[in-house]
Homo-oligomer: A and B are copies of this chain.
């Protein structure tokens, strides 16, 4: 019972282990009768396929590393990363692969240490989930192994990446505010923090430009320091009638702050977020926001990494996955009111 191998099965029937291998893998060269007999016996003997031996032969582990920087794994953004990882696990399954999560500690990222998964040849490729430092990205580039960035990208576009369409998402959302009669619109977020936030800001800006508006410095409100830590909002005396926040969590905090200062939301100030995570519906009023298509993003990223692991040299570049606006009560219709 201990450890059944193909050889054990072979000896019991009186054939060679080659024949057993062929039968169990449904390959040609074994009569159907014998195949059935072998399969039956394998079942009876409690045989389990030894993937490690196969890996040894062809050099593939059938594992993909999913690297998540530590700082995204705590806090509140959890939900996004868990859903993403989970969806990845599901899609890997379809391809006969497994994902191995590797939390990249801040210290390792700082010290430019590649994941242990790499040094131990435990995986055939990597999905990096969540913005990494520029230096670390350079390090990754030199790593000779298939890789895909998920939810962020390399500015030099040398590594395939799948991102949410932050630019057009924020652009659409800002247009939506203009359509509702808003004329002055601000933005909440640190423009230098991540490429996602920057792109959302630029989409917002594009909409402003198209509506003949200029940027108003006072209405670009910072939400976090350079290490990503949230800071107090610095509110000017005069506010625009609407704000585009870089994410729902910040929109949630921003709404609370506005209410604390005596503003009514959305009557005095409308607020929109991004992500459609739990903060969108625990905010009062519920937030109009953009729902990121996690499933589609993850499926795409997995599809790409599997193709690359299987040998495609093709470069997929930067894939943007469209989100969709979810309309809720946090936007005031100025055309009627």
Contacts and interface: CB of A to CB of B under 8 A. Distances in A.
A144 B1 contact: yes
A121 B51 contact: yes
A310 interface: no
A117 to B, nearest CB: 7
B73 A86 contact: yes
B61 A89 contact: no
A100 B98 contact: yes
Given A59-B3, A78-B78, A79-B78, A119 B48 contact: yes
B120 A103 contact: no
A134 interface: no
B120 A51 contact: yes
Given A48-B121, A50-B121, A282-B282, A85 B101 contact: yes
> Contact residue range for chain A?
35 or more
A248 to B, nearest CB: 13
Contacts of A102: 89, 98
Contacts of A121: 48-52
A73 B116 CA distance: 27
Interface string A48-79: 11111101100101010000000001001011
B49 A52 contact: no
A12 interface: no
Contact of A82 (B48, B78, B99): B78
A225 interface: no
B49 A120 contact: yes
Interface in A188-236: none
- Which of A89, A98, A117 has the most chain B CB atoms inside 10 A of its CB? A98
Given A73-B86, A98-B117, 17 more contacts: A3-B59, A49-B120, A49-B121, A51-B120, A52-B52, A52-B121, A53-B56, A78-B78, A78-B79, A78-B82, A79-B82, A81-B82, A82-B82, A85-B101, A89-B102, A98-B102, A282-B282
